[in-house]
Structure 1
Amino acid sequence: MSQKFHIRLASQRVNTSIAENQRYPKIFTPGETITKQNEFMRGHGTYEDNGELKSSVAGVREQVNNLISVKPLKSRYNGEVGDIVVGRITEVQQKRWKVDTNARLDSILLLSSVNLPGGELRRRSVEDEHMMRQYLQEGDLISAEVQSVHSDGTLSLHTRSLRYGKLGQGVLLKVFPSLIQRSKTHFHNLPVGASVILGNNGFIWICPIINNSEDSVGGFVQNLEEKVPRQERESIGRIRNCIQALAMCKMMIYDTSILYAYEESLKYSIVELLVPEAMVDIAILTQHRLSMIEV
């Protein structure tokens, strides 16, 4: 069976950055002037030069009252209480699991911070501690919420909701945490036949449609033996490539931008979406549609 390969010279590489065409958010580069007004205070990622506030890193501007800072585009995840994260179990310890959440240190999921199968509320016993590896073991993917942040930056997670728990069949995609737009909900059932969990830590989980009415066992069911229809697998693959195109072009990722990118990608096959020219084309068309909404 013949396969197609796309080989290009360095001089023929495509500029995948369309940040200068974006209206929101603007990506500031090192040395670029943020504002010339003097009433603003200097935050992380900024410095003063001749009365101007400039960016010292490449990232997105964040403002709280008069404090202006620049969040680096490429950085580790700095968790906040209430964030939705997707992580991978790295180690099983005494009464706790260690989870990779793309932060500087592994996060902690205590045995007392999970719902056991059946959803029953009771004190965790020695038997529960011996069965921890049956609940979650190394390599398992989970969705959770940040419960607290320790002084050293370690995150404490919890899954005390039927929305959270072990993840089953799907695709994991990693992007820069700064590209995930904060919203009221990060769980989306898209009308194209797939569900998406947009983790604030930059881990995105794409899977078949999640039916919450079936999740009544505390978030430990994976349904690995269930066959996913071909149409749903194709939708998952297309969504994955669309998100990859948005991330490569430094565009914010949320439910609306994913849907617009999906609709603009229908003129390409799933494999063609991996070509840089197609990825840039989809990102530009998506940004144009998003700018029309802002107007």
Structure 2
Amino acid sequence: MVMRKLQLRLNQTQKVRFERAMERLQSPGNSVIVTESIPVNHEDAFLKGHGTSEVGGELLATVCGVVDRVDKLVYVRTLRARYKPEVHDIVVSRVIEVAQSHWRVELNFSQDGVLKLSSMNISDAVQKRRTSVDELNMRNIFVEDDVVCAEVGSFQRDGSLQLQARSHKYGKLDKGQLLKVDPYLVKRSNNHFHYIESLGIDLILGRNGFIWVGEHVQVRDPMAVDDEMISSYTYNTRKGQSHTPFETRQSILRIGNAIRVLSNLGFTVTLEVIMETVNLSNTKNIDIHDMLGSEFHVLIAENEAKRRSA
């Protein structure tokens, strides 16, 4: 939890408050370096996870990172700037090329992702073979700079990732904003898709560190790339969509700034923490633009310290 990329002008009072909050957050055994001892209760059974090794009855860290505990499992989560993908990960990506029979997408990974046209074709649970006509219509589905949600399917021999969008919840994301955080701040969860009903907002926490905040969209089920789907995409993306209400746009910006602040502070990004940050900004009557200022960063650090101690 260090503000590596953040340059804030703190006055003397804010500086003291911030340092106190961060001291409370830096609990013993939370951040470790190689060979550092990890506190565990040897009377209770525990499981050694990634980045740990037991030497002389002591649990030691074999990598630098943050200690995480899941039930009895103790492991060290290394802090990576790049995304380390796993099959079935939910990811948010940006289209960078429309190629023959596939789209190439940016994933915040050392290799680009590949989303094949055939990986989006499910009609009555039967894979439908695509023709040259379907390939010619690919730009009616996704074009460069479109934001797309998909799932990691497999790894290719050249190191690239094969993505798939075999469900109605995947596909193009519209009327919102794309944010980027360090991937380690987005923990693997049973649900990376969130509908904030009170605000009419969709929130997708991509495991690759790309996060989508946008106006809620009623999805169709099942997802099938056919003539009707292509016509729908063509109508919506080329001829314009309905106007996004001002209140919804304000909510998108407020949630987006909440995520930026949490990322700046190095705090894990979850739905609960994001909404707590948003609610605090409303309670304190802080303007959306002022959320990126020094005072709100200090408030969030103090609030997180209070939340964890409770």
TM-score, structure 2 length as denominator?
Answer: 0.76
Q: Where do 5+ consecutive residues of structure 1 fail to align?
A: 1-5
- CA distance in structure 1 between the aligned counterparts of 2:95 and 2:206, rounded to whole angstroms: 15
Residues 1:133 and 2:139 aligned together:
yes
TM-superposition CA deviations, 1:172-193 (whole Å, max 9, x none): 1101111112221111111233
Structure-1 residue corresponding to 2:9: 8
User: Which residue of the other structure, out of 251, 271, 276, is the alignment partner of 2:294?
Assistant: 276
Q: Where do 5+ consecutive residues of structure 2 fail to align?
A: 1-6
- CA distance in structure 2 between the aligned counterparts of 1:49 and 1:139, rounded to whole angstroms: 54
Letter in 1 for 2:180: K
> For the Cα contact (< 8 Å) 1:90–1:99, is it kept in 2?
yes
Q: 1:65 to 1:278 in 2, by over 3 A?
A: closer
The Cα of 1:71 is off from its aligned counterpart by: 2.5
TM-superposition CA deviations, 1:224-263 (whole Å, max 9, x none): 5321111111111110111111112221111111111111
TM-superposition CA deviations, 1:61-84 (whole Å, max 9, x none): 467977x64332233111111111
The Cα of 1:207 is off from its aligned counterpart by: 0.4
The Cα of 1:104 is off from its aligned counterpart by: 1.3
TM-score, structure 1 length as denominator?
Answer: 0.79
Structure-2 residue corresponding to 1:28: 31
Q: What SS does the aligned partner of 2:60 have?
A: strand
Identity between Structure 1 and Structure 2 (%): 33
> For the Cα contact (< 8 Å) 1:273–1:279, is it kept in 2?
yes
User: Which residue of the other structure, out of 251, 256, 263, is the alignment partner of 1:247?
Assistant: 263
Letter in 2 for 1:108: V
Residues 1:183 and 2:184 aligned together:
no
- CA distance in structure 2 between the aligned counterparts of 1:95 and 1:120, rounded to whole angstroms: 19
Q: 1:158 to 1:240 in 2, by over 3 A?
A: same
- CA distance in structure 2 between the aligned counterparts of 1:250 and 1:280, rounded to whole angstroms: 13
- Say which structure is richer in helix: 2
Q: What SS does the aligned partner of 2:140 have?
A: helix
Residues 1:198 and 2:201 aligned together:
no
Mapping of residues 226-265 of structure 1, within 5 Å:
226-265=242-281
> For the Cα contact (< 8 Å) 1:28–1:59, is it kept in 2?
yes
The Cα of 1:210 is off from its aligned counterpart by: 2.4
- CA distance in structure 2 between the aligned counterparts of 1:40 and 1:139, rounded to whole angstroms: 44
- CA distance in structure 1 between the aligned counterparts of 2:70 and 2:288, rounded to whole angstroms: 39
> For the Cα contact (< 8 Å) 1:146–1:158, is it kept in 2?
yes
The Cα of 1:52 is off from its aligned counterpart by: 5.3
Paired residues in the alignment total 285
- CA distance in structure 2 between the aligned counterparts of 1:16 and 1:170, rounded to whole angstroms: 35
Give the aligned CA root-mean-square deviation in angstroms: 3.9
Tell which has more relative contact order, 1 or 2 (C-alpha 8 A, sep 6+): 2
> For the Cα contact (< 8 Å) 2:204–2:211, is it kept in 1?
yes
The Cα of 1:91 is off from its aligned counterpart by: 1.9
Letter in 1 for 2:288: I
TM-superposition CA deviations, 1:129-185 (whole Å, max 9, x none): 222233222211100011123466432111111111111111111011111122211
